[in-house]
Each structure stands twice: as structure tokens, then as C-alpha cells.
Amino acid sequence: MREIEFRGKSLIEKDKWLVGSLYDEGGEEYILPAFLASALDFENYQVDPNTVGQFTGFWARHGNGEPKKIYEGDTVKVGKLEYLVCWSLKDGRWYLGNGSENSIIWMSIAGENSYEIINH
């Protein structure tokens, strides 16, 4: 079964990433962790919508080589080139792009060992 997970930067604790389920309330976005005891607590989990990204199901090396989850919006390095992780609604799959439609690389499990996260 595929893991559905989102992350976003907290608006309360500026440099903290929150991970969990995405919840939208009147245009404001929240990431609610699985352990959230009460739906009344969700105000503490508001995130900057520009930082929200879904877990792709792919993993990469990060610095010392320990595996890290790759999220939509991450910048990854493949060889010497850097790409932004994006979702293709048309094709229904994740890809690496750098702004040019001619430079799209479709993400695959076979390529996981070659992905290195640059900004996470």
C-alpha cells in the first residue's frame, strides 16, 4: 500500500517541518500529525502553503548517505545536474524538471540510488 503523507513548514515555529495529513480550512492549510488528540488543536499545525509537498514514495541519499524521503518541491541532484521534484497531473507520475519541458526525467525506483537531496 502506498504511503500518503504531506509536509509543510510551520507558521508557528518558523523553521520546523510538520509531517502528516493535509487539511484545508477556508484556504488555510494545516498538516495534522497522526497523534493529534483533538481536532480542536489544529490551529497549532498551520503551515505555509508554499512549502506543502506530498511524499513521492521515493527515497534518496542526504549528506552522510542515510536515506531520506523525497517530497514534492525538493531539489535533488542527479549526477552534476539539479532538478525540482514535480507532479505531472497529465501523466499521473512524479518527475524531475528544471524549467524546460525538454529536460524532464521521470522518477523511478531504479534511479533511487542516484538521487541526492540538495534542499529538503
CATH number at residue 77: 2.30.30.290
Q: Are residues 62 and 47 in the same domain?
A: no
First-last CA distance in the chain: 24
Q: Are residues 38 and 77 in the same domain?
A: no
| Separation between Cα atoms, residue 83 and residue 63, nearest integer Å | 17
pLDDT score, position 110: 59
| Separation between Cα atoms, residue 58 and residue 72, nearest integer Å | 10
Single out the residue in 19, 35, 51 at which a domain terminates. Answer: 51
**Domain that includes residue 95, residue range:** 55-119
Single out the residue in 36, 51, 66 at which a domain terminates. Answer: 51
pLDDT score, position 50: 94
pLDDT score, position 53: 96
pLDDT in tens, the chain (120 residues): 677 899 999 999 988 999 999 999 888 999 988 776 556 667 788 999 999 999 999 988 766 667 889 999 999 888 888 899 999 888 888 999 876 666 678 887 656 677 888 876
DSSP string, 32-50: E-TT---GGGGGGGEE-GG
